[in-house]
Amino acid sequence: EAGVAQSPRYKIIEKRQSVAFWCNPISGHATLYWYQQILGQGPKLLIQFQNNGVVDDSQLPKDRFSAERLKGVDSTLKIQPAKLEDSAVYLCASSLGQGARETQYFGPGTRLLVL
Amino acid sequence: GDSVTQMEGPVTLSEEAFLTINCTYTATGYPSLFWYVQYPGEGLQLLLKATKADDKGSNKGFEATYRKETTSFHLEKGSVQVSDSAVYFCALSLNTGKLIFGQGTTLQVKP
């Protein structure tokens, strides 16, 4: 079974530029998550989708971050404009369903450096 | 609010030593508890989980017991190997499935 795919793996941009990350979840997984992991910290949820609807985006800085999951499968996370503090690893995860007992499967992440 | 606290790292052990990584949580509901591991250069992988009080999760020689009375989920292994060197994250999940992670504990095992 193929795992969660993410691209690109690495990205270097200058502040005020825009960037987009792509995620393809495990086939059949209805729930998709984007997490931000700053160096030395645990991942923090940015947004959670159930199919193509948003379940939780309370921690998403909506003035600069946006995300979509148009057909309920793959997803794109965008930052525009980027700030220095956005330097982090962006992790995508998916799970079969939604709920406390579900196991989330993580992709390899996209490492972003903002200069 | 809901949170997870892990012991500070790095933890440095010799091969075959006993490992404990402490994890405590604060939650308003009845969470499920998880340990995820991140090996060097790899993504996060589920190590084990427990979904209700007194459950014991186990995998690859690692164990953790969900203790509601002490709000803890400490990770243990009887004899660590060099290949166990990684960053370990404790996490909780509530109704929506959102994971709340601790800050991670780096384990270094020396031969």
Mean pLDDT of chain B: 95
Omega into A8 within 30° of 0, i.e. cis? yes
Average pLDDT score over residue span A18-24: 97
- pLDDT cut 90: percent of chain B above it: 86
Q: What is the pLDDT of residue B90?
A: 98
Distances from the Cα of A16 to the Cαs of A65, A79, B52, in angstroms? 12, 9, 46
pLDDT digits over B92-106, tens only?
Answer: 998 889 999 999 999
pLDDT exceeds cutoff 70 at B81: yes
Q: Chain B partners of A108 at a C-beta cutoff of 8 Å?
A: 42-43
Q: What is the pLDDT of residue A36?
A: 98
Q: What is the pLDDT of residue B1?
A: 87
Nearest to A48 among B98, B101, B104 (CB): B98
Phi, psi torsion values for B78, nearest 5 degrees: -70, -30
pLDDT digits over B11-41, tens only?
Answer: 999 999 999 999 999 998 889 999 999 998 8
Between β-strands A88-95 and B3-6, what pairing exists: parallel, antiparallel or unpaired? Answer: unpaired
Residues in B lying within 8 Å of A, measured between beta carbons:
4, 30-32, 34, 36, 42-46, 49, 51, 89, 91, 93-104
Mean pLDDT of chain A: 95
